[in-house]
Structure 1
Amino acid sequence: MQGAAPVVERVLPLVVRLERDAPPQRTAALEAAARAVLLMVSTGEPAWRVAVDAWEGARIRKVVRRARGAEWRRAAALEGLTVDHDGAQVRVFPPVPVDGWPRDLARLQVGGTELDDATAPPPPPVGAALVLMSPHVAMSAGKAMAQAGHAAQLGLRSLPPAAASGWREAGFPVAVRTATAARWSAALAAGAPLVRDAGFTEVAPGSATAVFARPATG
């Protein structure tokens, strides 16, 4: 009698475009990543749906890599979708096995995604969902992009079907902001969908990194 087939661990690849002379703002990159994740997990593309369902049924691991110039053009030629948001470009790809990245993605660097905001981000737009980043955990922009994507995905899972459908039809407007200590504590006390990182990179296992603090409203 044959045993069950081994479970293939998958990862969702994201690539942020970082040109030397025009890097994106940090908040814009986080918001683009969150929306890219939402679009991928809601995909109606049959071939992508199979990979997304297999990945969502296990650990929703994400890895953000960076690209510029010819690297970005090669990544953009692969099957996936690109989110352009407020000067940031993030491309998301269907989940792949952890040890089975396409060559043109595997060769891209994970480190070096240090981004800043030139000015403080404005208040979140009316009607946008809100992801709050922890004020207590320092993360590179790439790490924070993955965590914002986790929070947005958990938030979508938490919504009633009608609310989730309405958010999707609106194009998944989402704002990402770093919480004050008081706002962070309030979100945790309210039971907001919370991301606890697995601890593969940068932060200690179990670190609370982001919450889905407010669903989208009409």
Structure 2
Amino acid sequence: MNVLEPLAARYAYWLGLPAEEAALPEASPEEVRAMPVILHLEKSTPPQRTPLLEAAATAALAVCLDERAQPGGEWYEPVREWVSGHIRKVSRRARGIHWQVAQEFPGVRVAVGGAEVRALVPGRVVDVPKEIARLQISGSDLPPDEPPPAQPDLPLLLLNPEVSMTVGKAAAQVGHGTMILASLLEPAELAAWGERGYACAVRTPSVSQWKQLHPGDDPAGAWRSRRVVAVRDAGFTEVEPGTVTVLAQYR
């Protein structure tokens, strides 16, 4: 048993899993839960976009699969409560002393290619510590980069090439992707991924590549034949509800 089981039940009903509520009720404002995702964005030395997104994707999953988030652990209840509802994430940017202060809060820091992200243990938005709440959400963007070809043995997260997203929005979406992907894996596969620190590749495909991999109307077939799952956004920010923002593939 791991804390991601509610995701598998909710997002992979098409595999014959015991489904939870297809449509979750909207929480009251005081009960809305989210995972703060802190992006290290120094003004003078900003990271490249792709490594930052890869760090965000890994960090979000690493919090969920940390031993402290398993039954009996100190993070289990807050992570379980969050995963059982809408898996909202709020990306915030930090630099200098504010980045250092963010390290004091429970979570996991991940560094990839000079980029750093710290995903914090999720909780009620109204309870976010003031040191984190003061960090800006808007303005978190970086120019496109040109990453090398993705390693063929890493899980792959593809950003929708026809949808524009800020780096903050994309960071949240790839984090959704790694979590949903991990929830569907066999224990041995998940353990093997864990041995690699939940490393992954984030890329933007061509439109034709995106359409070729997209599950379309056959999500069960896409998972069984291509190990692909789609991330559909709830539409709270930047994109229309139901937009497929990311395709996550286990390779």
Partner of 2:180: 154
> C-alpha displacement at 1:116, in angstroms?
2.1
> Is 1:51–2:78 an aligned residue pair?
yes
Any residues of structure 2 matched to 1:47-196 within 5 Å, and which? 47-118=74-145, 120-189=146-215, 190-191=222-223, 192-196=228-232
Distance 1:61 1:114 in 2: 19
In the alignment, the residues of structure 2 paired with residue 117 and residue 203 of structure 1 have an alpha-carbon distance, to the nearest angstrom, of 19
Indicate conservation of the 8 Å contact 1:43/1:49, yes or no: no
Structure 1, 189-198 or 19-28: larger mean CA deviation: 189-198
Deviates more, 1:101-110 or 1:166-175: 166-175
| Unpaired segments ≥5 residues, structure 1 | 1-5
Q: How does 1:15-30 map to 2 (within 5 A)?
A: 15-30=38-53
Q: Deviations over 1:163-200 (max 9, x none)?
A: 11211122112000012111111221335211111111
**What's the Cα RMSD here?**
1.5
Q: Which amino acid aligns with 1:26?
A: R
Whether 1:38 and 2:61 are equivalent positions in the alignment is yes
Deviations 1:8-57 (A, max 9, x none): 33101110011111101000110000000111110111111221111111
Secondary structure of 2:75's aligned partner? helix
1:212 aligns to 2:248 (yes or no):
yes
Using the TM superposition, give the Cα deviation of residue 126 of structure 1 relative to its aligned residue in structure 2, in angstroms.
3.4
| CA distance, structure 2, for counterparts of residue 151 and residue 29 of structure 1 | 15
TM-score by length of 2: 0.79
For residue 117 of structure 1, report the CA deviation from its aligned partner.
Answer: 4.0
The whole-number CA distance in structure 1 between the counterparts of 2:198 and 2:91 is 20
> Which deviations, in whole Å up to 9, do the C-alpha atoms of 1:91-147 show, x marking residues without a partner?
1110010221111111110011111244x1111113211011100110000100100
Looking at structure 2, the residues matched to 149 and 183 of structure 1 have their Cα atoms a distance apart, in angstroms, of: 21
Larger displacement relative to structure 2 (190-199 or 10-19):
190-199
Task: Judging by fraction of residues, say which structure has more helix.
Answer: 2
Unaligned 5+ runs, structure 2: 1-26, 216-221
* CA distance in structure 1 between the partners assigned to 2:234 and 2:152 by the alignment: 32
- 2:238 is matched with 202
Matches of 2:62 and 2:187 in 1, distance apart?
16
Superposed CA offset, 1:58-91 (max 9, x none): 1111110001112111111222221111011101
Which residue of the partner structure matches residue 3 of structure 1?
none
